[in-house]
Structure 1
Amino acid sequence: MPLAPEIKELMAMIAEAPPEVIGGPDLTIEEARELVEVGAALTTPPEQRSTVASAEDHTVPGPAGPVPVRVYRPARTTSSPVPTLLWAHGGGWCSGSLETADTAARALCSLAEVVVVSVGYRLAPEAPFPAGLDDCAAALAWVRGTVAELGGDPARIGVGGDSAGGNLAAVLAQAVGSHGVPLAAQMLVYPATDLDLTTDAYPSREALGTGYLFETAELVRCVERYLTAGDDPADPRVSPLRGTDLSTTPPALIVTVEYDPLRDEGTAYAARLRAAGVPVVHQDVAGLAHGTFDMLGLSETARTAMAEAARALKALFASR
């Protein structure tokens, strides 16, 4: 399917913009982060985001100090507890925030009728692996300890995230499945599942690596910031696709998009989960590029895909 017209138009605008507006590979990390924040605000302004019953900021105890979280509660017609989803934002482990995650978090809260706890984890390169992962684990522990107060059902807690956040969520799902009370669901949106930059196992990295909203060269820069000397890309805490036993991970919803260099590794992870006996719903969305779940205000195609993903997430939790 051709690229969605609204995404194609956005890419044309980016291509025509002067370097001082869109930056490039020479951006400082601070400039890159600011560009991500501005982009999220422009593509889905606050007034175009989903309405929720409440959105409250908190801090939770973390391994290096307080971790910021934002708790979204859905409008409900019943007092019965609802599922709870811990959400990790994208941004290549180096950028993104509670603000950039706001669009997706609100949409999932409203459409899937779940409590969403969005995590503002520490970012690389100042806080490289495993800092962000440890913060997400701490936030998950807090959710489990306070889920009843949040209005959630202790038996229906899940993890999710997009891009780098999908990577963190997948790693959490494996760790909890092996060592803790199993989770009810995992939602991985165009996740990075294998951080080996030398492998040729994923043709989409080359075929779709330039000319779209996220490029393979950017993936390389992000991984180089996230990992430090001595970190092994084959470590399952870095590359969840390299996990040896996936059988204890929760039922999964995996969303990949057509024009994304990460598409094939997301598809490969879905296949590995299935082979391990894990129930998997894999939605491969035509016409979209990486990052477009943050662009619901811009793209009707993305809004439709988000609604379909939210329905699948709701059904996944309902089956528990």
Structure 2
Amino acid sequence: MAKNIAKHFIIFSSLLVATVLILTSVAVYLWQSTDEGRLPAKTAVVLHAINNNLVSLDINIQVPQIVSGGSGGGSPLLKEDLYIPVQGDVQIPMRMYRPQGEGPFPIIIYYHGGAFLKGYGNIETHDNIIRSLASRTKSVVIAPSYRVAPEYVFPTAIEDSYSALIWGVEQAETFHGDPERVSVVGDSAGGNIATVVSMMARDRNGPDIISQVLMYPLTTFQDVQLESRDVYDSGYYLLSRQVMYRARDLYTPEELMWSNPYSSPLHAEDLTDLPPTLILTAEFDPLRDEGEAYAERLAEQGIPVKATRYRGVMHGFVSFYEVMQSGRYGLQEVSSFLRQSNQGTLLVNDNYQLQVRQAPQGLDRVREQTEAFAIAAYLIGRTGVDLFNDQ
């Protein structure tokens, strides 16, 4: 009797496992299939989870005052949240991560993404990148919480951001920073801000910036024909045409603002004397083409530029470096570029050519697929209904 029960239990368990594997495989296959192309398994699973509200886009990690640098390793970092002065006798919040020790350490001013709009991004949602860059580059990272629309329109965000640069250079000694080694970094709207701040520093005889890193940047508010804006505008890839229009209407409410070089650097007449630049773009991103077009314009005007398109990923992919290998690749490339810049060993080929980084291959691909199926099985088990909901 006991043997029969055990035998039936084994058979039942095997059937259950087989059923879960089949359901998971079918679900992942369906999630990978999109009108715009077939997605890698990990990208498909992450996007399905986000777009079906199974996980939150916000990363809101409470970190103690002495914190780990994350996957970058190294010594614990010091964290400070404070207020810094900007135009109009106003103070804005700012977060700083810095290594322990006397330094002087290089300084990175990091401008977070978020479409220039309240509720779309802040220093909390980008805390993992800010913290990891400080650890990986052994730098002081200053992340200002610049004011955003609809309450504050152009040029408030960039003036706040430029003020943060000035504050960082002037106060460098107080936090063991090196004012001679300052870089600007930003993602999405923050990528726009980072390069605009570089232009402002050039135009106003401000601090010397030794490098700029722009991750999937917005570079124009004008109505220009860009294939990626048309193909990937649904919002499934974490940025929609609707949000882009909303950003333009609220951040730059007057049409004259759209052609200002400080809002649309892609169309600036003068891009000379800007720092060596790294631009990352994503295959499934409405901002892909304008980021790459900006890289071409910089190169045409003599700026050393490296641009890398990451295949198989969506807008904002570096923020997911903790769960996506391509995000880790991107963060590694950014960190390496900044370290070389800080050490004075940066070499950029004069003959500009867009580099294309393939989706993970080999063991990384096996690991990504294995993790994707594990996450998918978890999501299916947690929801239990509407398993094959497509985008």
What TM-score range do you get, normalising by the shorter chain?
A: 0.7 to 0.9
Question: Which structure: larger Rg?
Answer: 2
1:39 maps to what in 2?
57
| CA distance 1:72–1:208, change in 2 (3 Å) | same
1:308 maps to what in 2?
333
**Which runs of 5 or more structure 2 residues have no equivalent in the other structure?**
1-36, 346-391
Q: Is the 8 A contact 2:279 2:306 kept in 1?
A: yes
2:218 maps to what in 1?
192
Q: Is residue 2:226 matched to residue 1:208?
A: no
- State the Cα distance separating 1:10 from its structure 2 match: 2.1
1:157 maps to what in 2?
182
Comparing both chains, which one has the higher relative contact order based on Cα–Cα distances under 8 Å and sequence gaps of 6 or more? 1
- State the Cα distance separating 1:223 from its structure 2 match: 1.5
Q: Is residue 2:291 matched to residue 1:266?
A: yes
Q: Partners in 1 of 2:261 and 2:187 — Cα distance?
A: 18
**Secondary structure at the residue paired with 1:39?**
coil
Match 1:53 to one of 77, 90, 110 = 77
Q: Partners in 1 of 2:309 and 2:143 — Cα distance?
A: 24
1:119 maps to what in 2?
144
Q: Is the 8 A contact 2:198 2:274 kept in 1?
A: yes
289-298 or 110-119, which deviates more: 289-298
**Secondary structure at the residue paired with 1:232?**
helix
- State the Cα distance separating 1:145 from its structure 2 match: 0.3
| CA distance 1:72–1:81, change in 2 (3 Å) | same
Q: Is the 8 A contact 1:177 1:250 kept in 2?
A: no
1:86 maps to what in 2?
109
Residues 92-136 of structure 1: CA distance to partner in whole angstroms, max 9, x if unpaired?
A: 000322211211101111112221000101110011111111111
2:48 maps to what in 1?
12
Match 2:318 to one of 293, 305, 316 = 293
Q: Partners in 1 of 2:294 and 2:48 — Cα distance?
A: 32
Percent identical pairs in the alignment equals 32
**Which runs of 5 or more structure 1 residues have no equivalent in the other structure?**
23-37
Question: Over aligned residue pairs, what C-alpha RMSD do you find?
Answer: 2.3
2:379 maps to what in 1?
none
Tell me the amino acid that sits aligned with residue 270 of structure 1: A
Q: Is residue 2:71 matched to residue 1:71?
A: no
- State the Cα distance separating 1:230 from its structure 2 match: 5.0
**Secondary structure at the residue paired with 1:264?**
helix
Tell me the amino acid that sits aligned with residue 211 of structure 2: A
**Secondary structure at the residue paired with 1:161?**
strand
Q: TM-score, normalised by structure 1?
A: 0.86
1:30 maps to what in 2?
none
Q: Partners in 2 of 1:195 and 1:96 — Cα distance?
A: 19
- State the Cα distance separating 1:2 from its structure 2 match: 5.2
2:257 maps to what in 1?
232
Q: Partners in 1 of 2:338 and 2:98 — Cα distance?
A: 16
Report 1:134-173 matches (<5 A): 134-173=159-198
Q: TM-score, normalised by structure 2?
A: 0.71
- State the Cα distance separating 1:265 from its structure 2 match: 0.6
1:3 maps to what in 2?
39
Q: Is the 8 A contact 1:88 1:118 kept in 2?
A: yes
Q: Partners in 2 of 1:66 and 1:205 — Cα distance?
A: 36
